[in-house]
Structure 1
Amino acid sequence: MNRKDYSAGAVKHAFWFMEFRKVVSLRLEGKTWEEIKQLNENENIFGAPTKLRATQIFNTVSARVKSLDDSFYPIFDACDLASQKLFALVAAMTYDVLFGDLVYELVREKMIIGSNELADSDLRIFFKDKQQQDDKVAKWTEATIKKLMVTYKSMLFEAGVTNKAKDIREIYKPLPDPAMEGWMKEQGMMYQLKAIMGVR
């Protein structure tokens, strides 16, 4: 599978957990992607403030859901809220490879060494490294990187991986549901699994 390029698209995105859960539940009801798209256009199922935002939420959330194999639906449905949020996190990491790398290279490393703190300076170092490694990231402005930092911190907080402290956030080591862990192993998603569990 070809690795996707890094993208700064997440500056316009949120964690959108409730929306993720809604889409999975509609898929479990047997709705097609086209039917969900129509529902969103006609009934504003995500309660978005504008039509443009409704479309953006649908496009991003559906792409995240599609980044995981459909076989996750019943497991997601049977999981507790904390594991459902981890599923949404894993989908966001799979869809946005830069965010996936941030969780793997930064948050996971912190958990491995037993440091439970994530500082803004850690994020800045991560982005500086990426700018040296990737020509596309090297062209991003300081404003873009700041927005990405805000988005990624917010997503980690909403997924239950960190608290919401201002400069230095506490990291909580997640414990995925055993069924979720088993499913990820079956799917060969060891990169994402090690990232969220903080293991080598």
Structure 2
Amino acid sequence: MTTDLEYSSVLTGAGYMLYEIKQISVLKKKGLLDKEIRQEVLEENVFQYEKMSSIKRALPYILKRVNVLDETLLQLITQESLEIAKIINLYAIMKSDRLFFEFMYEVIQEKLQKNDYLLEKKDVNSFFIVKAEQSDFIESWSESTIEKLKQVYKKILLETGMLKSLRTGELNRLIIDEQIKDHLRRIGDIQYISAIGE
């Protein structure tokens, strides 16, 4: 459960990374262990990054995300459409990052439930102010870390298709494939479907 996780600002260095998640999911499906995946990614430059330091920095977050996916979700993210992969990646980000899940659940879900399709700057700012009041750890973060997280959160929504444009802040309701919905219900992860606004 996401609420068991500590708060973290790792998304400042991880972002959406759909291509990378798909690559790691393929290796995971082949039965490779995390250590073997790390070795293959570094030796073969699986992500096709120019800098080795970028790969080393991104890899732990990507592995953490892929490790929350079970066999069914690994199968879907590697075999099905881009739209399905986007939803599964969004689920994996929420499942592995408590603060992002709370943002989705407390801000995005609430807006979509009210048929309010406008994500305003004040909505995002209010969320982080409230979280800093609730958590000394978040309160200790620098202003630049919080600003970066705000940007990353909006970019994740944009890349998933939930945000039509960064400029307008107009939200979109995602259509979640029935096989994903059924599977998440079966494994007791219905709150992630709710957080996407279904």
Mean Cα displacement is larger for which, 88-97 or 32-41? Answer: 32-41
Q: Which residue of 1 aligns with 2:129?
A: 128
User: Match of 2:194?
Assistant: 194
Give the distance between the partners of 1:190 and 1:99, measured in 2 at CA: 16
> Partners in 2 of 1:45 and 1:29 — Cα distance?
15
SS at structure 1 position matched to 2:172: coil
1:85 aligned to 2:114?
A: no
**1:147-197 CA-partner distances (Å, limit 9, x unpaired):** 11011111111111112332x41111111111111111111111111111x
* Structure 2 contact 158–166 (Cα < 8 Å) conserved: no
Matched residues in 2 for 1:96 and 1:72: separation?
18
**Counterpart amino acid of residue 116 in structure 2:** S
Q: TM-score, normalised by structure 2?
A: 0.93
- How far residue 140 of structure 1 moved from its aligned partner, in angstroms, is 1.7
1:43 Cα deviation after fit: 1.3
Residue 185 of structure 2 corresponds to 185
Distance 2:147 2:60 in 1: 24
Q: How much has 1:68 moved relative to structure 2?
A: 2.5
How far the C-alpha of 1:79 sits from its partner, in A, is 3.0
2: CA distance, partners of 1:175 / 1:68: 20
Residue 59 of structure 1 aligns with an amino acid whose one-letter code is P
Q: Percent identity?
A: 26
Which AA in structure 2 matches 1:107?
Answer: I
- 1:169 maps to what in 2? 169
Give the aligned partner of residue 26 of structure 1: 27
CA RMSD of aligned residues (A): 1.6
Three-state SS of the structure 2 residue aligned to 1:151 is helix
* TM-superposed deviation, 1:78: 4.1
Question: How far apart in 2 are the matches of 1:56 and 1:185?
Answer: 33
Query: 1:76 touches 1:180 (CA, 8 Å); kept in 2?
Result: no
Supply the distance in 2 between the matched residues of 1:13 and 1:78 (Cα, whole angstroms).
Answer: 23
If the length of structure 1 is used for normalisation, what is the TM-score?
A: 0.92
What is the CA-CA distance between 1:49 and the residue it aligns to? 2.6
Separation in structure 2 between the aligned mates of residue 37 and residue 125 of structure 1, nearest angstrom = 38
Structure 2 stretches lacking a partner, 5+ long: none
Residue in 2 aligned with 1:151? 152
Aligned pair count? 197
The reply on whether 1:104 has 2:116 as its aligned counterpart is no
Question: 1:85-144, CA deviations, whole angstroms, 9 ceiling, x for partnerless residues?
Answer: 010011011111100110111011110000111112110000011011111111222221
State the SS of the aligned residue for 1:154. Answer: helix
Look up the equivalent residue of 1:105 and give its one-letter code. Answer: E
Could you tell me how far apart the structure 1 residues matched to 2:193 and 2:165 are?
Answer: 23
Distance 2:35 2:71 in 1: 16
* Structure 1 moving runs of 4+ over 4 Å: none
